[in-house]
Structure 1
Amino acid sequence: MATTYDTIVIGVGAMGSATCYQLARRGRRVLGLEQFDIPHSRGSSHGYTRIIRMAYFEHPAYVPLLRRSY
């Protein structure tokens, strides 16, 4: 295991793990740190506290998708 890293990612939920994956694919030495066991129910994409907005202004077609995501 490397003792030095090009990038350290704090939080390896959906976005953090995707970031680690993409950086590693590009040859970077990446360390992902998570404070909880994986998987867990305390992240920003779980339950009523998940970070999905009901209002995105890119296109009206997103509205039905956003409603279904809740």
Structure 2
Amino acid sequence: SKGEHPDFSGLTKLGMIIRGAMNKTVASGLKYTSEQNKWLVEHYRNYPKEPSGFEEWNKSLLKTLDESFAKIASFSKN
């Protein structure tokens, strides 16, 4: 080395891009979670008054939960 200061500007830019992408992923995950929470609250408010409606209500709940867990898992892979 000739006492020169190394140039890390490209590395800094790459770090900023990676952090920006991660923040976008986090923001997308939070938005999705918020939307699913609203759906769950509404779904629980519509809990069937008669036992005959439970099977369909539960089927819808489990389908949405399965889809949600899969989607949330995909955020951690990005």
Task: With the length of structure 1 as denominator, give the TM-score of the two structures.
Answer: 0.28
Name the one with the larger strand percent: 1
Name the one with the larger helix percent: 2
